[in-house]
């Protein structure tokens, strides 16, 4: 299992549309994705669980990948958090 800390950059935080886009990326990966914040964890493929993290702009989350494409998973999700994909 590999993990990395990532910062939520979208001005409205991890809201429904952004969470849905995140799950689309996570579900396309082989690895199981988990997102953690303030002692809570969410399945990266669940919009509802991601929303329950209440990650506002500037929040730091830990994203973990476990499976056959861990490095690629973290790279793609890191791009999602840092770039023009909404977060």
Domains of the chain: 2-82 (3.30.1340.10)
Residue 12 catalytic? no
Task: Express each pLDDT in 1-19 by its tens digit.
Answer: 999 999 999 888 999 999 9
SS3 content of the chain, % helix, strand, coil (to 5): 35, 25, 40
48-85 pLDDT per residue, tens = 999 999 999 999 999 999 999 999 999 999 999 887 55
Helices (H), the chain: 16-27, 47-52, 70-82
Q: Do 33 and 25 touch, CB atoms closer than 8 A?
A: no
Mean pLDDT, the chain, integer: 93
Q: State residue 11's pLDDT score.
A: 86
The average pLDDT across 18-44 equals: 96
Determine which one of 9, 10, 15, 32 is catalytic. 15
pLDDT given at position 82: 86
CB neighbour list of residue 83: distance below 8 Å, 6 or more residues apart: none
- φ/ψ of 37, rounded to 5, equals -155, 130
Predicted structure pTM score: 0.91
């Amino acid at each position: 299992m590999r993990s990395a800390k990532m910062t939520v950059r979208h001005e409205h935080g991890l809201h429904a549309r952004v969470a849905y886009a995140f799950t689309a990326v996570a579900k396309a990966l082989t690895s199981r994705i988990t997102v953690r914040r303030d002692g809570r964890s969410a399945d990266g493929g669940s919009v509802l669980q991601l929303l329950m993290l209440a990650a506002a702009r500037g929040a730091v989350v830990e994203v973990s990948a476990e499976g056959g494409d861990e490095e690629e998973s973290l790279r793609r999700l890191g791009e999602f958090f840092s770039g023009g994909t909404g977060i």
